[in-house]
Every structure is written in C-alpha cells, then in structure tokens.
Amino acid sequence: MSKPDTKRVDRAIRQTTKKLEAVRRGEWWPLTGRERRDMLRAMAGGARSIHQGRSTTGAENRMDTIGSSVEMRLNAELTALYGERQRIVTEHARDKAAKKSSGWW
C-alpha cells in the first residue's frame, strides 16, 4: 500500500499556521468579519477617547482581548487538524496491518 493521503489536511495545517503567525504580527487578514468589526469598534472607541482627552486603556485592552481570542481560535483549529491528520495515518496503518495479516504468508 502507498502512503496515507494527508495532502488536504497538510495544506490546511500550513494555511492555519500562516494565519496564526500573521495574527501574532498584528495583521488583520486572518480575522473573521465579526472579529474585524469588533477591532474597528475598539479602535473607534479609542479614537473617541483620544479626542475627548481620556485614556485609551479600555480600547487597547479590548483589542488585546480580541487578538488573544483569535489566537486561541486558530490554535484550537490547528489542534483539530493535527488530530485529523493523526486519525488518517492511524487508519491507514490499521488497514495496512489488516491487509498484511490476511495474506498468504
């Protein structure tokens, strides 16, 4: 038998890893629409605070919280993808062992 077919899962793992690295650098492209709206809302609140001469601590904390939740979401997605990859490899090994044991010799 050949090697297990994990190309689709491997591609998804690479994409998710790139997204996680981008979020850690502060880029917004991996964010979902809701997360982008929340970030913009926090930025607007911070700009309003600056305009009124107040501290932007609350807005900064909200933006940090959103960034942390995005990282947690992507880490959970990566964990699930690694689990799926392991399931495929294990299933392939089980099938290969079953095929070998049912052979002539």
Look at residue 1 and give its three-state secondary structure: coil
Task: State residue 83's pLDDT score.
Answer: 96
Report whether pLDDT(105) > 70: no
The CB-side HSE value for 27 (13 A sphere, CA atoms) comes to 9
The band of 102, judged by pLDDT with boundaries at 50, 70 and 90, is confident
Global pTM reads 0.84
The identity of residue 58, as a single letter, is: G
Tokens representing residue 82 in the block: 């690694």
